[in-house]
Amino acid sequence: MTTRKLTIEDLQLNVSIRGQGSPLLLLNGLGGLIRTFDPLREELMDYRTITLDVPGVGKSQMPHWPMRLPRHADLIAEMLKQLGIDQVDVFGLSWGGALAQEFALRYPSRVRRLILAATSAGPAMLVKPADILDFFGRSKSARLRKQEGSRNSIQTLLRLGMVNGMLTVNPRTYYHQLTALVGWTSLLRLFRLRQPTLILTGDRDTLVRL
């Protein structure tokens, strides 16, 4: 695996490239670090997988102000240009699925095929902001005392992700990423997605309904 720093529009991005073959761009969910995709990438060695810590996540630079989703898409386009990659397949998970849609809509010639997993066209928020604020608003001792309840709750998922090093522990990151989604939708533009698209969803997903 090769990890490198790219400077794009005065922001340093942490980018990871692995394997050989057809390029596949992996876009992470809310707060997701590069290593979240490691198990999947182990199964995709016939592909050249590219992923990154989006701005404010992991080892990528935090922007001064929250960025809207279209600007995130523009940064992705510039990142691929710097890497010398003209066209990719794109896999977007949750928050990254929204970014994948925006990227495909803004740069249709750059996307060959699209995979959207556990995501939304925008009108239904992927995660309730109140749940994120509630999680970070609690004191550590209060969180430990609180009964876990459903293991699929957003609080439980955040806790497990952070403990396992899959999610960032920086609350500011979540505020920035949630702000990127405010008012965003692809619903009225979905007809413009001409790429072959695979949609993956689960009937027991407590965050994104089937």
94: left (phi over 0), alpha (psi -120 to 50) or beta: left
* CATH node for 2-200: 3.40.50.1820
Q: Cα separation of 99 and 76, whole Å? A: 9
- Single-letter amino acid, residue 195: Q
pLDDT tens column, 69-127: 999 999 999 999 999 999 999 999 999 999 999 999 999 999 999 999 999 998 665 66
Q: Cα separation of 161 and 56, whole Å? A: 17
10 Å CB burial of residue 168 (0-12, 13-18, 19+) is: buried
**Catalytic residue from among 16, 22, 60, 94:** 94
Q: Given pLDDT bands bounded at 50, 70 and 90, which one contains residue 130?
A: low
Q: Cα separation of 180 and 68, whole Å? A: 4
| Domain map (residue ranges) of the chain | 2-200
Q: Given pLDDT bands bounded at 50, 70 and 90, which one contains residue 165?
A: confident
* Residues 6 or more apart whose Cβ sits within 8 Å of residue 76: 25, 27, 99, 103
* Residues 6 or more apart whose Cβ sits within 8 Å of residue 85: 23, 50
DSSP string, 131-174: HHHHHHHS-HHHHHHS---STTSHHHHHHHHHHTTSB---HHHH
Q: Is 94 a catalytic residue?
A: yes
Half-sphere exposure of 135 (CA within 13 A, CB side): 22
pTM to 2 decimal places: 0.86
